[in-house]
């Protein structure tokens, strides 16, 4: 644990050195409102149905940049909400860091798809992972409609969504696992997502809130101690093989829902297997980051990582 703390302190210092870029608001109020809603995209295609389930259709919103070339790389974003709540919609008022990061990515020429997935009220794991994987495959199959590049794809998620994209990254090389075998995945950006849902992890972190324990149990359909195989199958750290794409992990050191040591341990295991990984802790930030002076740094770090890999 002392090694972890030393690593955390060092990485936190490194993260705080990242500076954001100042932005000047649009002088025209009407245009500014549209820009805020569309997050700088040249076009937003909303409500695209990518799959139909017994519980209803699943949709995504696609933010398209101004085309700089013939094929556009893209990111697929999975929202948070404890797997039992949340929506794909992004705007400048809700999910400020997510919205700013989307804007940064669009400015760099990336498309961003924000996806809905089945919540635990209608389906248990691994339905959520399968849904996000199907969204990726649907976009790849329909890439020609929006000049997307199916071979340059990034995965990005926050909280519960961070868990889902981390799991997809972990099983990317194994088509036999739910959601596994995705092609074209160049990078994964995981914001404060739980990476170990196992019974051992629950025991190791008795400080976990009642909410965290409840939503994990609802996702799995059982207590981890009662279904260790199910919990392990849904834990990214238990599914690593060394075939994973590069990972960026970003999390606050004061996260009250997901212990930051989960990200530290996950990063260490990725490194042990030879997978490129960056771990950026942010001193004093809680779950969700919130809005503050480090919002720009977090967004710029994510956008720079994507630009270096996707």
**How high does pLDDT run on average in the chain?**
89
> What is the pLDDT at residue 26?
43
Which tokens go with 198? 């196992």
Position 139 confidence tier, pLDDT thresholds 50, 70, 90: very high
Provide the residue ranges of all domains of the chain, joining segments of one domain with +: 2-309
Q: Is the pLDDT of residue 17 over 80?
A: no
Task: Give kind and range of the element (H or E) at residue 248.
Answer: strand 247-252
- Cβ atoms of 89 and 154 closer than 8 Å: no
Which burial class, exposed, middle or buried, applies to 169 when counting CB atoms under 10 A from its CB (0-12, 13-18, 19+)? buried
Q: Is the dihedral of CA 178, 188, 160, 51 positive or negative?
A: negative
> What is the pLDDT at residue 33?
52
Q: Is the pLDDT of residue 255 over 80?
A: yes
Smallest CA-to-CA distance from 78 within 167, 8, 195, 181 is with: 167
What is 2-309's CATH number? Answer: 3.40.50.1820
Which tokens go with 102? 């989307």
Output 308 or 69, whichever has higher pLDDT.
308
Helix H, strand E, coil C: the string for 160-179 is HHHHHHHHHHHCCCCCCCCC
Q: Which residue has the tokens 């999975």?
A: 78
- Cβ atoms of 294 and 276 closer than 8 Å: no
The predicted model gives 129-157 an average pLDDT of 98
> What is the pLDDT at residue 19?
32
For 201-241, the DSSP string reads HHHH-TT--HHHHHHHHHHHTS-TTT-HHHHHHT-GGGS--
Specify the pTM.
0.89
Q: Is the pLDDT of residue 125 over 60?
A: yes
The predicted model gives 171-179 an average pLDDT of 96
Which tokens go with 23? 């932005």
């Amino acid at each position: 644990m002392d090694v972890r703390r030393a690593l955390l302190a060092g990485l936190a210092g490194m993260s705080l050195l990242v500076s954001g870029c100042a932005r000047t608001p649009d002088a025209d109020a009407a245009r500014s409102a549209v820009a805020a809603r569309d997050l700088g995209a040249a076009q937003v295609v909303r409500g695209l149905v990518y799959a139909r389930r017994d519980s209803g259709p699943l949709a995504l919103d696609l933010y398209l940049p101004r085309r700089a070339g013939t094929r556009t790389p893209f990111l697929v974003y999975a929202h948070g909400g404890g797997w039992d709540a949340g929506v794909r919609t992004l705007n400048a008022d809700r999910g400020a860091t997510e919205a700013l990061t989307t804007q940064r990515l669009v400015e760099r020429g990336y498309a961003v798809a924000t996806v809905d997935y089945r919540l635990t009220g209608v389906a248990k794991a691994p339905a959520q992972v399968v849904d996000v994987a199907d969204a990726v495959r649907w976009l790849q199959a329909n890439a020609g409609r929006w000049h997307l590049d199916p071979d340059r794809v990034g995965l990005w998620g926050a909280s519960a969504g961070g868990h889902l994209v981390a799991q997809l990254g972990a099983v990317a090389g194994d088509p036999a696992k739910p959601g596994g075998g995705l092609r074209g995945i160049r990078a994964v950006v995981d914001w404060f997502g739980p990476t170990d849902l196992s019974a051992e992890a629950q025991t190791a972190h008795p400080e976990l809130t009642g909410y965290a324990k409840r939503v994990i149990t609802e996702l799995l359909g059982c207590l981890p101690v009662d279904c260790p195989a199910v919990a392990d199958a849904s834990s990214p750290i238990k599914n690593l093989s060394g075939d994973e794409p590069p990972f960026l992990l970003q999390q606050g050191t004061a996260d009250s829902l997901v212990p930051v040591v989960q990200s530290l341990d996950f990063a260490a295991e990725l490194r042990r297997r030879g997978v490129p990984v960056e771990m950026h802790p942010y001193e004093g930030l809680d779950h969700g980051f919130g809005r503050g002076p480090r919002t720009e740094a977090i967004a710029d770090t994510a956008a720079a990582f994507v630009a270096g890999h996707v």
